[in-house]
Amino acid sequence: MKKRILFFTFLFSALTFAQQGKIRKVATIGFLNVENLWDTIQSADYIDGTKAISNPAFHRSIPIDSIKFLEAEKYDGQWSDGLLKGKKVVRYQSGSGEFTPKSPKNYNTKVYKTKLANEAKVISELGSQYTKTAPAVVGLIEVENRQIIQDLIKEPALAKYDYGIIHYNSYDYRGIDVALIYQKRRFTVTNSLKKELKIFNENGKREYTRDILIVTGFLDNEKVAFFMNHWPSRRGGEAISLPKRNAAAALLKQQMDSVRAMDSTTKLFAMGDFNDDPVSTSLKNHLKAVGNPRDLNESVPYLNLMYPLYKKGVASLAYQDAPNLFDQIIVSKNLISEQVTKDYSVYKAEIYAPAYLVNKEGNYKGYPFRSWNGDQFTGGYSDHFPAFVVLQKEP
């Protein structure tokens, strides 16, 4: 019998302010692992390398029924720029067939709409106890394609906030991606791109995982950059899979350092499911994210806001029946201030776990109330608790 793990909703003041004062202007940045948010149609990856100079310029998720109308070859081998250049290819997604009406999950329109409503409810509430509104920017993990995100932001809980979408298809073997949604009236996008993480198994064979999504722009007229992550899993064991996450950490640090080098005033947010805890080698030694503001300096500029929560026993999920804090938000040191100023700084960071997101009974009491128990739809929300950070500044 699985041991029961108790998760706590824990409020964390990221810093002790010399002058607490009244929060005048606030914004929430958060993210949620939406636990396999697929549509009901089996899909495949379609790459049109004929439109590319060096990299495939056209990559989308398409219904498998559409393949017969395309002049494309089936491709199950290793993706590479050279092999894809000048070709139109199709690769079937390993996870897509699991989420259809004909699968054991009986994943039909009713279930899909329930999933959308559930995820929209959670997203709309992130930070609302402080801001009285929905988040300005939200990262999404485990989405199948852009259409799903469009359906999500049209849900009644989110529609009135007029969210925009940033999404790119990745080469992930299952067909899931990361994405970003943002309130258009508060965040203006100046650039977005994806950085492909190239990792290999012990036999030297390429393993396909999620990209790092990078979005820059202006949040309430302040220059910011978001780095959305879903690092390689611990499949095969923590130790044997760690080099893959170390590689992800090195790529993330390279991208964050690059943005800082171009403009040191840009405020950076790296967030997502890192599949490691704040004390893991990947985050401490490769990303070099520290847990104490006193340790910040020019050569160590990144603070892990979840480190104090981890030390207090707060968890965002249970992996192999043990509590972990894989869902984290890491910020640049220019977001840390002991006083409220005219520029945004961190006020609070939390793992969001209200009662309805927590399992109440059974072997999984205290775990996140996830959507799936094997092939059975539970009506739940996610196998991860979401995370958010509240920012504050003078009006």
In the chain, what are the domains?
A: 10-39+104-393 (3.60.10.10), 43-98 (no CATH)
Helix (H, G, I), strand (E, B) or coil at 347: strand
What is residue 77's predicted lDDT score, i.e. its pLDDT?
Answer: 65
Helix (H, G, I), strand (E, B) or coil at 131: helix
What is residue 16's predicted lDDT score, i.e. its pLDDT?
Answer: 32
Q: What is the 3-state secondary structure (H, E, C) of 89-100?
A: EEEECCCHHHCC
- Between 22 and 132, whose confidence is greater? 132
Out of 17-21, 289-293, 335-339, 389-393, least confident range: 17-21
What phi and psi, each to the nearest 5 degrees, are found at residue 117?
-65, -40
What phi and psi, each to the nearest 5 degrees, are found at residue 112?
-60, -45
Burial 336-372 (b: 16+ CB within 10 A, else e): bbeebeebbbbbbbbbbbeeebbbeeeebebbbbbbb
218-243: average pLDDT = 95
- Between 366 and 263, whose confidence is greater? 263
Burial 3-34 (b: 16+ CB within 10 A, else e): eebebeeeebebbeeeeeeebeebbbbbbbbb
How much of the chain exceeds pLDDT 70, in percent?
90
Could you report the per-residue pLDDT of 22-40, keeping only the tens digit for each?
A: 657 999 999 999 999 999 9
The tokens describing 223, both together, are 């220059």
Cα distances from 269 to residues 79, 89, 252, 383, in angstroms, run: 30, 35, 11, 23
Q: What is the pTM of this model?
A: 0.91
Closest CA to 42 of 118, 112, 101, 86: 101
What is residue 10's predicted lDDT score, i.e. its pLDDT?
Answer: 37
Could you report the per-residue pLDDT of 268-297, keeping only the tens digit for each?
A: 999 999 999 999 999 999 999 999 999 999
Contact partners, residue 24, CB within 8 Å, separation at least 6: 340, 392, 393, 394, 395
What is residue 82's predicted lDDT score, i.e. its pLDDT?
Answer: 57
Closest CA to 119 of 367, 357, 389, 361: 357
Contact partners, residue 230, CB within 8 Å, separation at least 6: 33, 141, 142, 176, 178, 209, 210, 272, 273
The tokens describing 210, both together, are 């999620």
- Tell me how crowded residue 239 is: count the other CB atoms within 10 A of its CB: 8
Cα distance between residue 72 and residue 158, in whole Å: 38
What is residue 217's predicted lDDT score, i.e. its pLDDT?
Answer: 98
- Please state, rounded to an integer, the average pLDDT across all residues of the chain: 89
Q: What is the dihedral of CA 196, 273, 214, 299, to 10 degrees?
A: -100
Residue type, 97: G
Q: Is the pLDDT assigned to residue 331 strictly greater than 50?
A: yes
The tokens describing 163, both together, are 């969210």
Distance of CA 356 to the CA centre of its chain: 21
Could you report the per-residue pLDDT of 149-185, keeping only the tens digit for each?
A: 999 999 999 999 999 999 999 989 888 999 999 999 9
**pLDDT band, very low/low/confident/very high, at 4 (cuts 50, 70, 90):** very low
